[in-house]
Amino acid sequence: MASHIVGYPRMGPKRELKFALESFWDGKSTADDLKKVSADLRSDIWKQMSAAGIKYIPSNTFAYYDQVLDTTAMLGAVPPRYGWNSGEIGFDVYFSMARGNASVPAMEMTKWFDTNYHYIVPELGPEVKFSYASHKAVNEYKEAKALGAETVPVLVGPVSYLLLSKLAKGVDKSFDLLSLLPKILPIYKEVIEELKGAGATWIQFDEPLFVMDLEGHKLQAFSGAYAELESTLSGLNVLVETYFADVPAEAYKTLTSLKGVTAFGFDLIRGTKTIDLIKSSFPEGKYLFAGVVDGRNIWANDLAASLITLQSLEGVVGKGIVSTCDPLNLSLTRCLYYLCIGADKLVVSTSCSLLHTAVDLVNETKLDAEIKSWLAFAAQKVVEVDALAKALAGQTNQSFFSANAEALSSRRSSPRVTNQSVQKAAADLKGSDHRRATEVTARLDAQQKKLNLPILPTTTIGSFPQTVELRRVRREYKAKKISEEDYVKAIKEEIKKVVDIQEELDIDVLVHGEPERNDMVEYFGEQLSGFAFTANGWVQSYGSRCVKPPIIYGDVSRPKPMTVFWSSTAQSMTKRPMKGMLTGPVTILNWSFVRNDQPRHETCYQIALAIKDEVEDLEKGGIGVIQIDEAALREGLPLRKAEHSFYLDWAVHSFRITNCGVQDSTQIHTHMCYSHFNDIIHSIIDMDADVITIENSRSDEKLLSVFREGVKYGAGIGPGVYDIHSPRIPSTDEIADRVNKMLAVLEQNILWVNPDCGLKTRKYTEVKPALKNMVDAAKLIRSQL
Ligand code: GLN
Ligand code: ZN
């Protein structure tokens, strides 16, 4: 029985690639240094997989930045502004596309499906001249071979590549990106020929687009593309890998009828419905790559359950052949031979690339031993895949299986996981909508009586610049190098500084600046029960950037107030309203590794109840304006439209739970870090916040068009008036102009004036003048109204 890994993290167990990249970018090390670190990482991974007994080991899943950008380089689809014409694409052009250079900004980056990974979006159009410009796939295959590892080279499939692209600037909107297939397939053919020449016997095309809602002509593009590649692919085993959701029935038919393809890979963790499709029909004689080990989570696999799933598929793969196996006409040995062939065609795999999980558990020396026994990072998942493949072939590693069963049973029965009162409180939520009793307009009146704000009130989103000194204080406190007393004193001083600046700037609703927070999710996770933290559980987000999501392992509760001390301290420093600042339940959920032993929405409801307690304690503590950030609400939107409404219902409900109990006069704000919300505007209104601040400065038009289309909106709204991602200081006129544009569409009594997002990553030298201009712009317009 064979085993396969879809892809593997590139960063290294201790983010070696990150440091190598950043040092190279800073000019502190050479290209050769970077290549050496990278080659060592690749070699370690191949060795590790060979040692674990993996049969189909991937190559070309390493990337210096991103696998989609690698494909752009392979196809020579470099936008002209990067000044490349011909030859093999080197670091300078590659990294210029990824990160920009002194004269040209980077290409756009966007989220890779519903993961936290981001890819560089190809810019294509009729003018692009494709050519074979990066031999990386072939070089990596040869590199592995030289090290003694026979690998399956992985390419982003041609149809997914085009469907993940966008039109280059100036290209007519009616241009169909799929019409470029005849131009890119010749290059894929060159690559395939070269791989064959180098000795490859397998090739993997990642075509994750198969799991999306696709119109008929897009499905046809897959059929056409693989039919075109068929003759070049002959002699190779060809795996088309899908992941992140189930494959819809129509797409499944197309996929399993592709010409030239001999193997199909499925995500059987998120795509449980695909199992039924596979069972009802799977093409005769083809390989089934069954992704039963979760590539997107950190939990140890339930090996016994996976084995049952695999066994149920064993018959399916063998079935076509076995049914032709008529014992009257064939000898028994021959029948068994066919059966074995069938069995060999079921390959145990991961649900998707392991890129989306943490790298190696061995480096978690500080993690609680019991919790650690419940986990498996990429390195451990490789071992699980192999153990399952062997078990399927009758060579069960008993001790490994029993240790796994033991860990799972300890997880199921651990008192640290289950908290009866939390379970009960979450169950009791059923049946209520958790809506504030009064309409938003009436609430705004009650709030205005108390707050007495000017028209176009000014505010900021929460964080103020985090200086080196501030980070040092937090670090030293955590490491117990400074006393609690000294820490509190230092943070209070920082808050005072931030309050003074805002008063001087004459901002209307103040923030305390979040100096005590390292990260908006981690800060809350550390104070809630049911969360664990890793030392090295990093996951690549984009380029050299990684995130370290907390692990939610148990029922979530709030042992004691989390922010009340800091918020009320800040409020005591000013007569102006001080916003309490919380992270919302959906964002905490979406930016964590979430338990897989209960539905996501149940975990979200538990977090909501914990935040609800905090909101109510803030209110009791004299905080009249409370912001509950839902930066990641949109991110959690499922890939398929049919699932959107269920998600939005529980996500929005969770948000309402947090604040349904406050008085009319308490003003609830929320903040969101995206502007594409046209399609979910009704859900956003349904959150029933009093004020929403939202990223906008990079896309005025898109945002405001929703309101132009007559969406009835009564709550306060603060579309960001300047981009905090850039060091640029916007002028008063520029901001006033923006506000005026908004006033053309929005009622003046609901409009707020604020930046796009928190100011944490900016410098004071940028923040002060920018905010001054913002306040001046608000005052200027007030005087004209
Ligand atoms: N309150 C947070 C801050 O200002 C919000 C950050 C975010 O939306 N990503 O930092
Ligand atoms: Zn934001």
Beta bridge partners of 204: 154, 239
Does 758 sit in the ligand 1 pocket, CB within 6 Å?
yes
What is the Cα–Cα distance from 181 to 203, expressed in whole angstroms?
A: 19
Are 292 and 388 in contact by the 8 Å Cβ rule? The answer is yes
Q: Express each pLDDT in 448-502 by its tens digit.
A: 999 999 999 999 999 999 999 999 999 999 999 999 999 999 999 999 999 999 9
Amino acid 679: pLDDT = 87
Q: Which residue owns the Cα nearest ligand 1 atom 4?
A: 758
Give, for ligand 1, the residue of 516, 672, 760, 767 to mutate: max count of ligand atoms closer than 8 Å to Cβ: 760
CA distance 175 to 191: 27
Evaluate: CB of 520 within 6 angstroms of ligand 1: yes
Residue nearest to atom 5 of ligand 1 (CA): 758
- Let me know: does 664 contact 443? Beta carbons within 8 Å: yes
Going by C-alpha positions, the residue among 721, 170, 107, 147 that lies closest to residue 457 is 721
Dist. CA 299 → ligand 2 center (Å): 30
Rounded to the nearest 5°, which phi and psi values hold at 642?
-60, -20
Report the DSSP beta bridge partners of residue 167: 124
Tell me the C-alpha distance between 505 and 515, whole Å.
19
672 C-alpha vs ligand 1 centroid, how far in Å? Answer: 8
Q: Provide the percentage of residues in the chain whose pLDDT is more than 70.
A: 96
Share above pLDDT 90 across residues of the chain, in percent, rounded to a whole number:
90
Lowest mean pLDDT among 253-262, 283-292, 322-331, 596-605: 322-331
- Is pLDDT of 326 > 70? no
What pLDDT sits at residue 321?
45
Ligand 1 binding pocket includes 579 (Cβ within 6 Å)? no
Ligand 1 binding pocket mutation candidate from 563, 629, 762 (most atoms within 8 A of CB):
629
Residue 147 has pLDDT above 90, yes or no: yes
Give the per-residue pLDDT at 712: 77
323 pLDDT exceeds 50?
Answer: no
Ligand 1 contacts CB of residue 465 (under 6 A): no
Q: pLDDT category, 713, cuts 50, 70, 90?
A: confident
Tell me the CA–centroid distance for residue 756 and ligand 2, in Å. 6
For residue 760, the ligand 1 atom closest to its alpha carbon is: 10
In angstroms, what is the span from residue 520 Cα to ligand 1's centroid?
7
Residue 342: predicted pLDDT:
57
Predicted pLDDT of residue 751: 95
* pLDDT at residue 338 in the model: 45
The residue to which tokens 């990067």 are assigned: 82
Answer whether 436 contacts ligand 1 (Cβ < 6 A). no
Q: Is 682 annotated as belonging to a binding site?
A: yes
What average pLDDT does this structure show over 663-686? 90
For residue 557, say whether it is annotated as part of any ligand binding site: no
Ligand 1 site, residue 581, Cβ cutoff 6 A: yes
Q: Which residue has the tokens 């379970």?
A: 423
| pLDDT reported for residue 698 | 61
138 pLDDT above the threshold of 50 = yes
- Section 278-288 average pLDDT: 96
User: Could you tell me if the CB of 291 is within 6 A of ligand 1?
Assistant: no
* Residues marked as catalytic: 725
Q: Which of the four pLDDT bands, split at 50, 70 and 90, describes residue 343?
A: low
Which residue has a Cα nearest atom 6 of ligand 1?
758
pLDDT at 711: 78
pLDDT at residue number 96: 96
Rounded to whole angstroms, the Cα distance separating 760 from 523 reads 15
469 is known to lie in a ligand binding site: no
Report the distance separating Cα 735 and Cα 721, nearest Å. Answer: 6
Residue to mutate (ligand 1; options 464, 611, 626, 757; most atoms within 8 A of CB): 757
- Cα–Cα dist 405/671, whole Å: 43
Q: What element of type H or E holds 349?
A: strand 346-350
Is 267 a pocket residue for ligand 1 (Cβ < 6 Å)? no
**670 CA to centre of ligand 2 in angstroms:** 10
Ligand located closest to 694 CA:
2
Q: Give kind and range of the element (H or E) at residue 693.
A: strand 691-694
Cα 671 to middle of ligand 2, angstroms: 6
| pLDDT beyond 50 at 334 | no
* Residue 631 Cβ < 6 Å to ligand 1: yes
CA atoms within a 13 Å half-sphere pointing along the CA-CB vector of 281? 9
> Taking 80 as the threshold, does the pLDDT of residue 708 lie above it?
no
Mean pLDDT of the chain: 94
The CA distance from 509 to 499, in Å, is: 10
pLDDT digits (tens, 9 = 90+) for 186-206: 999 999 999 999 999 999 999
Of the pLDDT bands very low, low, confident and very high (cuts 50, 70, 90), residue 697 is low
671 lines ligand 1 (CB under 6 A): yes
Q: What is the mean pLDDT of residues 382-409?
A: 97
Closest listed residue to residue 264, CA positions, set 308, 216, 222, 324: 222
220-231 pLDDT tens trace? 999 999 999 999
Supply the residue whose CA is at minimum distance from atom 8 of ligand 1: 631
Q: Output the residue whose Cα is nearest ligand 1's atom 1.
A: 462
Q: Which residue has the tokens 């509950």?
A: 628
Q: What is the ipTM of this complex?
A: 0.99
What is the structure's pLDDT at 25? 96
Using the mean position of ligand 1's atoms as its centre, give its distance from the Cα of residue 469 in Å: 20
pLDDT band at 705 (very low <50, low <70, confident <90, very high): confident
